[in-house]
Structure 1
């Protein structure tokens, strides 16, 4: 038994922390595009640096400005991905984001689907926050649908691929092709259906980003840097013909496969740290999808 115990402990560690195979890899279905094939600068151009071949973009935040970029076209569905490497050290209050939104087309009444990296203090992990807003705004009436994770790897040590797949039936969030969250369309009132653009940004969200605003951005550690590469966009733009087919989430073309569901269960069981439907402090009459 004494000889068996170390083996069992090693097996337990491996099963918890070793990323399972989802069996299907959506990112393999798309070729990376150069930055200007899909995007333009939105703000803070002096805080962006593009590689000579346009394959990689570095953006940063300092005490004068952050930076953001936006897709050239809006989309009514699709797969949207990028590989991202985050900064190590003190990054509290800083958010690096890759997301979909139509805020500029519908100010005060917009839809949004977010992947956000919430900065942290040394010794504590980054938090990856996923969120879905439907016809919300930033005026205090916005209804967030947050699910947060601590990742099974160090996102500052190298590039990892993060993606949103949005089709008429569901929204899937992926990390290195592992589905970590599925947000199903249960009702049009709780699901975004209007065209959205793809965005990326880095900005100061000291009021809430790190432990509910306990730790603020400290510009003694500036600049705060995020690196993006392997940009992928596929799907139906807002201008595509009606016969344009949405991107499949699985080999069958509808929903996730059993192997993908198993991988998602692994991610949520071991690394999810917050889920809005399980938060007793929330008014769930505003989030009816939690009950059906």
Structure 2
């Protein structure tokens, strides 16, 4: 006859559950939920070319001759650490652009850009970055990547806090835009931004300045996304979710340490192929202020 008392393993499980709930109530445990695209984003255009799959764990964007596609985050952020894993369009992707960026609304917008410029098969992707403040951009830096971004998912991140904007690839900083308001360089600090991504045709400029056109026989072109994470201050109805105390949000004061600086220098030396701060032909009247100030 079976005993009516709990089995020891069941009793241990029950005690564990009660202890966990006790810790939750005391605030000793912080629950972090994995991102779900159904909850986190809206597919905003593409007439079905953007798809959320695997119970919200994967999102794909596709491009064919008729249209590309895109999505945006449901929430707006004002400072944060934003991560996304992306697997780019494989094969001959010349003429296509996969854009992944933060942007505010209005005619005097702020924006933080990753753009992946497609290539002919066997040639490297170009990672194009830019920073807009109050509607003004022209701050492009371009890089080759040190891996094939179409073979696997890789993590592309933005750290945005009051001190600086940092672009990361797989945790390695590749670019830093510092807050230099003290010398008159505008900095994105007042306008909340949504995350956007899109896959679109830009064969008038994207690959070798528009010399290589999109081969539509390769369509549809598809990029894949997973593991979106926004550790950020969420703004709703003009109110931020973050308090003035940054102790619970260490990224609000995060800086580049000596190892980060060393890794950043490696990227600039080995992988950078264009820097607006070195383009005197583009700025014959003088380089932008942030390029000339030691900070």
TM norm. shorter chain > 0.5: yes
After superposition, the C-alpha distances for 1:136-183 in whole angstroms (9 at most, x for unaligned) are: 2xxxxx532111111110001111000111111100001000111111
Q: Which residue of 2 aligns with 1:57?
A: 59
Match of 2:68 among 60, 66, 69: 66
- C-alpha contact (below 8 Å) 2:130/2:137 kept by paired residues: no
- 1:121 paired to 2:134: no
- 1:190 paired to 2:180: no
Select the structure of larger CA radius of gyration: 2
After superposition, the C-alpha distances for 1:219-240 in whole angstroms (9 at most, x for unaligned) are: 1211111000111111111232
What's the C-alpha RMSD, in Å, of the aligned pairs? 2.1
The 2-side partners of 1:115 and 1:221 are apart by: 24
Structure 2 gaps of 5+ residues are 1-31
Q: Which residue of 1 aligns with 2:85?
A: 83
Alignment of structure 1 residues 130-141 onto 2, 5 Å: 130-136=129-135
The 2-side partners of 1:112 and 1:215 are apart by: 28
After superposition, the C-alpha distances for 1:97-118 in whole angstroms (9 at most, x for unaligned) are: 110011xx20x32211001100
- C-alpha contact (below 8 Å) 2:185/2:289 kept by paired residues: no
Q: Which residue of 1 aligns with 2:152?
A: 158
TM-score for the superposition, normalised by structure 1: 0.81
- 1:219 paired to 2:226: no
- C-alpha contact (below 8 Å) 1:79/1:247 kept by paired residues: no
C-alpha change, 1:235 and 1:265, in structure 2 (3 Å) is same
After superposition, the C-alpha distances for 1:63-114 in whole angstroms (9 at most, x for unaligned) are: 1111111111111111111111112221111111110011xx20x3221100
The 1-side partners of 2:208 and 2:250 are apart by: 36
Structure 1 gaps of 5+ residues are 1-29, 137-141
- C-alpha contact (below 8 Å) 1:143/1:286 kept by paired residues: no
- 1:202 paired to 2:199: yes
Counterpart of 1:234 in 2: which secondary structure?
strand
Q: Which residue of 1 aligns with 2:275?
A: 275
For these two proteins, the number of residue pairs brought into alignment is: 254
C-alpha change, 1:197 and 1:127, in structure 2 (3 Å) is same
Q: Which residue of 2 aligns with 1:21?
A: none
